[in-house]
Amino acid sequence: MGEPMLPHGLPLRVVLLCSLVALFSIVTADEVQTAKPQCSNRCCDLTFSYPFGMNNTGNDCYFEEEYYNFLIFCDNSTNPPTPYITDKSTNIQILNISIENHEISIMVFVAKDCYDLSGGTSYNNDPRFTLPIFPISHAKNKFIAVGCDVYATFTGRQGSTYVTGCLSSCDSISDVINGSCSGIGCCETSIPRNAYRYNISVTSYNNHRGVWGFNPCGYAFVAADSFFSFSTDDLYKPPFDEVPIVLDWLIPKETCDDAKKNPTTYMCRENSNCTDAENGNGYQCHCLEGFQGNPYLQNGCQDINECVISQPCIGLCTNLPGTYNCSCQEGSQGDGRKDGKGSRIFTDEELKKATDHYHESRILGQGGHGTVYRGILPNNMVVAIKKAKILDQSQVEEFINELIILSQINHRNVVKLIGCCFETEVPLLVYEFVTNGTLSDHIHKCGHESTLSWRARLRIAGETAGALSYLHSDASAQILHRDIKSTNILLDENYTAKVADFGASRLVPLDRTQLTTLVQGTLGYLDPEYLQSSQLTEKSDVYSFGVVLAELLTGLRALSFERAESERNLSSYFASAIKGERLFEIIDSRVLNEGNPKEIKEVAMLASRCLRVKGEDRPTMKEVAMELEGLMKVMDRHPWVNQSCDLEEAEQLLGERPSKCDGILKSNASGNDDSISNQVPFEIESGR
């Protein structure tokens, strides 16, 4: 058996939702600017960004006007340190701040009204709340009162004073229903719009006489929506003194129209838009569609690379400021956009069902990258499911790398990814099932003549070259596959090639033509120049493709310890055969039977150019693809007449051609070397 790396139906091509899930954490965290330079943007667990900021002297870290500011203090005398804002020397603790949603959560006090056994007041606290710059969110909070003899009011001011509130009265704790705040033991009402300040007052009708045994206090508060869930225990004793509420923050006092009149104080920066606040008096800035980040910072709204994030195109995707452009590949039609079908996120449960709980009998293959299972979806679609090995961080990274790479690719000769699942501790990728195994299976059939005709081999070579040429030059960023080999080329029922396994692949930044990387690849296919220099270029894939081409021509494995020492390494064996004019001695018997010697010679020469030691002497994948395509066209126009023995030229160049001219079929050259694991995953440290 050859090395089992990634077997059948593996890899590739991503799904749009998957990339959303995987990428938001990665891409946005790195690329979106949130803080001003030289400004702290963190106090313990709270992170914030401009216009909020701390007093880092001289750095203009927070927004400030004559009557208000966005200053945050970090009290490091507490453990953990506490972030707070100040209103008239009152410190208000901050829980969190969302720039995008224009929300800030803070802690406020609960109003209480408690009695003793004889009906006297034992404790009463009616807190006030004011924060003149930010209104209380009417959408995200509720006013709640708890008690069996409670009457609570919320008094606000909006021009004139208004009062709202609720009351709850009950005789027996057995009437009280857990989780229900609908008037028995608990009542609630909504908060009006534009409330900046409020007084809460709690009183009772009977000083809790008759209910004191289970409910000695009434209490009331404004709290964030899902914060409080009422239970009978809450009647005995208020469970907290402070609760979180949500404020809608805004740039106070002005409307957009007024603010725009004074460009020096107008807060919305490039690529953003101003809206008048829906609650309260002021305006808010938002990044325009297609941008994300902090609209209050210079260059804070950054272009979203839709081609990577949402993968909206079925064809070529070009990212543009604020948008993107889809276009079709040559020879296809439409506007290049895809409708979102096929792409989905699977649940853990669905994939367990599809693989019969990852039953052994469903294993298609196992390798360094994980295990691949055959899965059957409820609609009877057969899929290949790749599962990382448990909690191996480097594998998780490879999976995510594969997602990112595949989100750039859409090509008929690249395996399609149907979906993913990130519910479990190990990620799972779901691919189309490619039915007919790997190219390697078909070339290296132990003891049998290969199933692949010469015509099919040329077509598969052409398809693979086309896919690589697309990765190298047509995808929205250059992609280097880095592990091209016959076990990573899958064949479907029509023997159409599908390039798979992008776990090791790399995206190359536009301004770079080479990358220094950890040397990775498979022995026998690994570019010797890259091995030596650690400089990765597109020509490394060309070399590996050259080895595959030599495999297709000779039927020999890339590396086999069954062969004599000088012949072990196909790429050197192949080169020496050409040099010694012995090419036809190592050509696969089926190729010799079916192929025109001129064609065979031409393909062999192409392979040897791909295998040149110096990367710069090798052709590009595009040139290779075009040459193979040209050959196929000629072949279709002039079907080779098998009987022709017009071999003089070829013989002179390449040595004697045996086989059908003299009726002797030479067969012992076709690789019969299946029994050893000869393709070892190979990694060494680069010398960086």
* Residues at the site binding ligand NAG, with contacts judged by CB under 6 A: 55, 57, 71, 76, 95-96, 105, 128, 155-157, 161, 178, 197-199, 231-233, 244, 273, 275, 288, 320, 325, 327, 436-437, 492-494, 523-524, 528, 559, 569, 571-572, 585, 594, 642, 668-669
What is the H or E stretch that residue 49 is in? none
Beta-sheet pairing, 141-146 with 217-224: antiparallel
Q: Classify residue 306 as exposed, middle or buried by CB count within 10 Å of its CB (0-12, 13-18, 19+).
A: buried
Cα 396 to chain centroid, rounded? 11
Nearer to ligand NAG, 221 or 399 (CB): 221
What is the smallest separation between the CB atom of 366 and ligand NAG, expressed in angstroms?
A: 19
What is the smallest separation between the CB atom of 75 and ligand NAG, expressed in angstroms?
A: 9
Of 532, 547, 530, nearest in space to 480 by CA: 530
Nearer to ligand NAG, 57 or 118 (CB): 57
Nearer to ligand NAG, 53 or 524 (CB): 524
Beta-sheet pairing, 344-345 with 417-421: parallel
Nearer to ligand NAG, 71 or 184 (CB): 71
The 10 Å Cβ neighbour count of residue 86 is 13
Token pair of 126 as six digits? 């009616």
- For 277-303, the three-class secondary structure string (H helix, E strand, C coil) is CCCCCEEEEEECCCEEECCCCCCCEEE
Contact 204, 148 (CB under 8 A): no
What Å distances lie between residue 231 and 140, 155, 258, CA to CA?
21, 26, 49
Catalytic annotation, pick one of 113, 149, 248, 483: 483
Token pair of 630 as six digits? 């040209």
Q: How far apart are CA 269 and CA 430, in angstroms?
A: 42
Contact 151, 173 (CB under 8 A): no
CA dihedral angle for residue 645, residue 649, residue 652, residue 655, rounded to 10 degrees: -50
Nearer to ligand NAG, 156 or 252 (CB): 156
Q: Return all residues near 643 (Cβ < 8 A) that are at least 6 apart.
A: none
Q: How far apart are CA 191 and CA 135, in angstroms?
A: 11
What is the smallest separation between the CB atom of 178 and ligand NAG, expressed in angstroms?
A: 4
Q: Return all residues near 564 (Cβ < 8 A) that are at least 6 apart.
A: none
Instruction: Say which DSSP state 569 is in.
Output: B
Nearer to ligand NAG, 209 or 633 (CB): 633
Contact 228, 144 (CB under 8 A): yes
What is the smallest separation between the CB atom of 57 and ligand NAG, expressed in angstroms?
A: 5
Nearer to ligand NAG, 271 or 469 (CB): 271
* Residue 138 backbone class (left: φ over 0; alpha: ψ -120 to 50; beta: rest): alpha
What is the H or E stretch that residue 661 is in? none
Nearer to ligand NAG, 41 or 55 (CB): 55
Quote the longest CA-to-CA distance of the chain: 122
Q: How far apart are CA 461 and CA 262, in angstroms?
A: 65
- Where b means 16+ CB within 10 Å and e means fewer, 376-389 reads ebeeeeebbbbbbe
Listing DSSP states for 180-231 in one string gives --SSSSEEEEEPPTT--EEEEEEE-SSTTTTTTTT--EEEEEEEETTS----
Contact 550, 570 (CB under 8 A): yes
The 10 Å Cβ neighbour count of residue 25 is 10
What is the smallest separation between the CB atom of 102 and ligand NAG, expressed in angstroms?
A: 13
Nearer to ligand NAG, 399 or 584 (CB): 584
Nearer to ligand NAG, 233 or 449 (CB): 233
Cα 673 to chain centroid, rounded? 41
Nearest position to ligand NAG, beta carbon: 528
Active site residue 257: no
Q: How far apart are CA 405 and CA 511, in angstroms?
A: 18
Q: How far apart are CA 373 and CA 142, in angstroms?
A: 50
Of 599, 593, 611, nearest in space to 658 by CA: 593
**Coil, strand, or helix at residue 52?**
coil
| H-only helix segments in 333-387 | 348-354
Q: How far apart are CA 623 and CA 239, in angstroms?
A: 74
Nearer to ligand NAG, 58 or 357 (CB): 58
What is the smallest separation between the CB atom of 388 and ligand NAG, expressed in angstroms?
A: 27
**Hey, which residues are catalytic here?**
483
